[in-house]
Amino acid sequence: MSIEHAPGLVIQRFTPPLKLSDFRVIAFDMDSTLINIECIDEIAGAAGKKAEVAAITEAAMRGEITDFKESLRRRLALMEGVPATALEQVYEQRLQLNPGAVELMQAARAAGLTTLLVSGGFTFFADRVRERLGMDHAKSNLLEIADGRLTGRVIGDIVDGEEKKRQLLALCEQVGCSPSQAIAVGDGANDLLMMHAAGLSVAYHAKPKVREQAMVAINEGGLDRLLEVVLP
């Protein structure tokens, strides 16, 4: 059973209000959750392949491509040879924080929560977003660059849904809390494993599959709408 708590804010499987201070950890996806874009699609634009890459991204986000690692490899391969300067251009010209991100992060820090950005995107953006929002930790994929151009590969293991869940659980262990004291916020199928592991799952302007499985779905407005049901 779901209840529309207020226009564009749907609550399922729990009765509000809760308090932020009842939680110890809050984890966020980055692309289309904390920020307004899918960075990989915007980088692909520099290679004239945005539509092709975006179609794969969309299918992966909807859960139609179940192997996230393979979908990322396919998209990265299309970007081989893109100048690394395209990353700075995307960050400066296209990337914006989503509404309410600053306010929600401030409230989480004030309530004593440890904050985590965990993304299937790239460290170039994730580290900057983490710093911009004053978050504690960030984990994402490191793009391989050679001679000033993208090679179409990442360095090390790819951060997928399993790794997002692992990062959330590891942080809970680090701070000494149960996963039931964690909040996970995301928008795509790749976020579902960490959302299922957390005590409170939040879908932000998410794909239908994610909205249906989340405990809170923010379908209108900013991230700070979570504070309407999880009180500061």
Residue 59 maps to a domain: no
Residue 135 maps to a domain: yes
Q: Has residue 28 got a pLDDT over 60?
A: yes
Residue 199 maps to a domain: yes
Residue 134 maps to a domain: yes
pLDDT in tens, 175-190: 999 999 999 999 999 9
Tell me which of 22, 31, 157, 160 is the catalytic residue. Answer: 31
Residue 164 maps to a domain: yes
**151: three-class secondary structure by DSSP:** strand
Return the pLDDT at 2: 66
**Is 29 designated active site?**
yes
Q: What is the pTM of this model?
A: 0.95
**Is 136 designated active site?**
no
Residue 83 maps to a domain: no
> What token pair was written down for 107?
């409230």
Residue 145 maps to a domain: yes
The answer to whether 119 touches 191, Cβ cutoff 8 Å, is no
Return the pLDDT at 61: 85
> What token pair was written down for 205?
């302007």
Q: Which residue has the higher pLDDT, 14 or 118?
A: 118
Burial of 41: CB neighbours in 10 Å, binned 0-12, 13-18, 19+:
buried
Count: domains in the chain: 1
The H-or-E segment that residue 27 falls in is: strand 25-28
Query: Can you list the positions of beta strands (E) in 97-197?
Result: 114-122, 137-146, 149-155, 182-186
Residue 186 maps to a domain: yes
pLDDT in tens, 57-115: 888 888 888 899 999 999 999 999 999 999 999 999 999 999 999 999 999 999 999 99
Return the pLDDT at 46: 81
Return the pLDDT at 26: 98
The answer to whether 232 touches 110, Cβ cutoff 8 Å, is yes
The H-or-E segment that residue 70 falls in is: helix 68-77
CATH of the domain at 152: 3.40.50.1000
The widest CA-to-CA distance across the chain, in whole angstroms, is 55
- In the chain, the amino acid numbered 127 is D
Domain of residue 223: give its range: 2-36+97-231
> What token pair was written down for 149?
């151009």
Tell me which of 22, 29, 41, 157 is the catalytic residue. Answer: 29
The answer to whether 198 touches 18, Cβ cutoff 8 Å, is no
Q: Please, what is the angle between helix 123-133 and helix 101-110, to 10°?
A: 60
Say which range, 52-66, 163-177, 183-197, 210-224, has the weakest mean pLDDT. 52-66
